[in-house]
Chain A
Amino acid sequence: MKLKLLIMVLIAFAIFTVALFIGPRVINPFSINEIEKEILISIRLPRIIVSVLMGMALGASGAVLQGILRNPLADPYILGISSGAALTAVVGIISGLAFWGTFTIPVLAFIGALITGVFVGAMGWKRGGFWPERLLLAGVGLGFLFSAVLMLIMSISSDQGLRRAILWIFGDLSLADWSVIPYGFVFITAGFVISLSRANALNALILGDELTHSLGFSPRKERFILFVSVGLMTAASVSLGGMIGFIGLLIPHIGRFIIGPDSKILIPVSALGGGILLCIADLIGKSLLSPMELPAGIITAIIGAPYFLYLLRRKDVLRI
């Protein structure tokens, strides 16, 4: 198992390195001119880091969320967190707010995600704990509300504003620059470390609340901590580059197919898988129709879904 994980890490680094040097134009790492140096350092490297951070956050939070909600259909977006983020971000994009320069949209998205997270949490809280079904339904309900408001805003906005909003919603990594990375890194790492440190409790929660209790955890407390970690990771991820589909929902399932349901391994593997997939998807998205860029969120689903369906046919286990 450790060997598998090590191999995955190596593959990931190989892919990140390759992604750095190929792209719309291949850069020869052994003869780099001034422009290429600038491109590598101020465009490609931050963009790869952002895609990996986002992919990791989504993959890991998908694995955690499917466990705490005990639902194989759960993904970080089902809790409405992303629709909340999209709503505030799109308002900012369409109205052209710029009070913090580059930070404006990420900060708006982060605020929207956090407020939604707290709200969904409050709705799903009853008698001193989270109730998985309540959380899910609160998230779905709120998500519908936010999507409707989002559609309302988009349908009354100008065509140019609408275009920008759509591009952001489908995942826009082109905003990635060094200035946003430290913040994204802090929140995503914090969420990742928290969820990994609660991996045992997550395994127990998958077996049921009563067994969780029997194994020496408080199901309500653990579910709360894990929910917070998911909230941090998802909010940071959405604020870095919009909504990327597929990763949060299906990467954890692919992880389970390959290495089993043990959260201690599944969380890092889902994170790594998410990072790899988003990095590749963004590479394809920016290279395919160069100099035009395609939203990475569309590519992740187009290359990820067929592989998932193939696994679904081959393996007979699909449970959280």
Chain B
Amino acid sequence: MIPQNFDYATPESLEEAFRLLSDPNAKVLAGGQSLIPMMRLRLAAPETLVDLRGVPGLGGIRLEGRTLRVGAMVTHYELESSPLVRKSCPLLAEAAANIGDVQVRNCGTIGGSLAHADPAADYPASLHALEASVRIASPSGERTVSIADFLVDTFTTALEPGELVVEVSVPVEAEGAGVSYQKCVQPASGFAIVGVAARIVKKDGEIAFARIGVTGLSGNAFRATGVEKLLEGTRGDASDIGRAVAGIGDGVDANNDIHASAAYRQHLARVYAARAIVAAVSRAK
């Protein structure tokens, strides 16, 4: 790897990090799984890398009431293997386990992934289904935005200059809920050609609550509220699911590249949505 020359800073507090990041040519380094490859190709050439690994308070996973709080610097591997996450928010653990490969999961972080906002990233499908929120800090204070507001577009987030993702919050999964994340893997990169996350709560044999998140289909991940509405109140059998997912990509400007045409992605979105919902329904008690 022969990137352009850069300085490397390891702040030991958020304040120090903010000060370093006030330089417009500085760039945050979290797990480096997207930034470093771009620097290798010189598509990115920051003058200073501000490595957040030494900043206290950005790691750790903790339960606060009915909310699971995940620090921005928590790695995919930590999420995938954490007994707490697996128990209280299994969808997040499942999404993390589907990312890239072991090396990527050992280095990559949830905060870094979100701030990068790759349209084929795995987390957004689950975070939409979980109606997650993202805590953002800046020298002037903090704010919390919903995942829907945070992910603005392809590689574009609600982060303003000088702001950092510090935490992702998801609700503790409802008792008896069934969840699943199903993904069509791009065989070279390991990213999602299409990935669909489903959360299902049943009551008296009917779907009482459905949340569906979709990634990879278009320039930005989204929550498929139309599908959710069609599922709720049904028994969740094959025909219900087929009807519900039929319009999952309606009005969506599907991505079209060498790995999948727009039409195939639209089709895969229906297939993988159905698979995720079937799995979630079968897991729901």
Q: Do the two chains bind?
A: no
